[in-house]
A and B are shown apart, each in its own frame.
Chain A
Amino acid sequence: MTQTQAPPVQTTQVYQVLITATAQQIWDAITKPEFTSQYFYGARVQTTGVAGTPMRYVAADGEAVWGDEVILESDPPRRLVVPWRSLYDDELADEPRSRITWQIDEQDGGVCLLTTTHDQLAGSPKTAASVSGIGWTTVLSGLKTLLETGHPLFGATS
């Protein structure tokens, strides 16, 4: 990158993307494995989406567990709050849990605003650096492409 004035990594990171989809479609894309496997580095999510129950991410190999937390808050199809600890990397896994909030707001014209907030990162600088920039933006761009075109952003080209 050629940026010389980029800000330091933020301990609260907010990412917004507008998607032509219903709130329910976005909710499903976050909570169903047939969707996450197409935009979340191939990981398959395992969850019922109910507060107090697990939300796991299992790698494409079906064995490695990348995330394994308990949902803090759930208001389908609008809001989902889940802790985050990156189990796919030992150094990151040693850092304290952070938190992810998925917020889905319907707008006019069949469009939803998806706001993904990753916060409580003050004690987890390596995780903060890992998810900033490339991490979340590829995931959210991939989610949007999948819902709007029916095809994954990354992977086989048409």
Chain B
Amino acid sequence: MTAGTVTTQVYRVWIKTTPEAVWEAITSPDWTDRYGYGGIPEYGDMTPGTKYVTNAGVGMQAVGVTGPIIDGELLEIDPPKRFVLTWRMLMDPDAEAEGFTRVEYDITPQDGGVVRLTVTHDVTGAPLIAAMIDGSNEDAGAGGGWAWILSDLKSLLETGAALKS
């Protein structure tokens, strides 16, 4: 796909684990800083309508990034099946100006102890975010987007260790 032209991006990964483990990994600050870009979210009491921020995690702090990196609002919380939130990137003024996008996590148990995790990111009107999350900016050091995050999450849950990249 050409960067930024698909306004809703869908990523799927199949993980040998439980729905509860995936739920923890995407919602608990104990887990969210261990894979992908990391980050420590403040989701409060996890109720719809909660305004949240995600603060820079250990890895980002090590390279001088501090303070909130993402903010938004929790929309749907249905553990361990579905988590929906709005999502605005605060690390770059131009990306922040694109406003709130929408992220949906759907966790579906499959036969044989396998879980399907589907991430649907609606980036309508947010071409910079679209390019970040589809990995187009990886050569510029921006990381590999959702493919990287989900690959890392899968390694962490299946092997106990994240990727070393």
Contact = CB atoms under 8 A, between A and B. Distances in A.
Q: Tell me, yes or no, whether A binds B.
A: yes
Interface of A: 1-3, 5-7, 10, 12, 14-20, 107-111, 113, 133-134, 137-138, 141-142, 144-145, 148-149, 153-157
Interface residues of B, number: 33
Interface string B77-115: 000001000000000000000000000101000001110
Contacts of B33: none
Contact of A18 (B1, B82, B163): B163
B80 to A, nearest CB: 15
Given A109-B165, A133-B12, A12 B118 contact: no
Contacts of A19: 151
A141 B135 CA distance: 18
B14 A138 contact: yes
Main secondary structure, interface of B, reads mixed
Contacts of B106: 1-3
Contacts of A109: 163-165
B41 interface: no
Contacts of A137: 12-14
Nearest to A20: B163
Interface string B145-157: 0011001101100
A110 B10 CA distance: 27
A137 B117 CA distance: 11
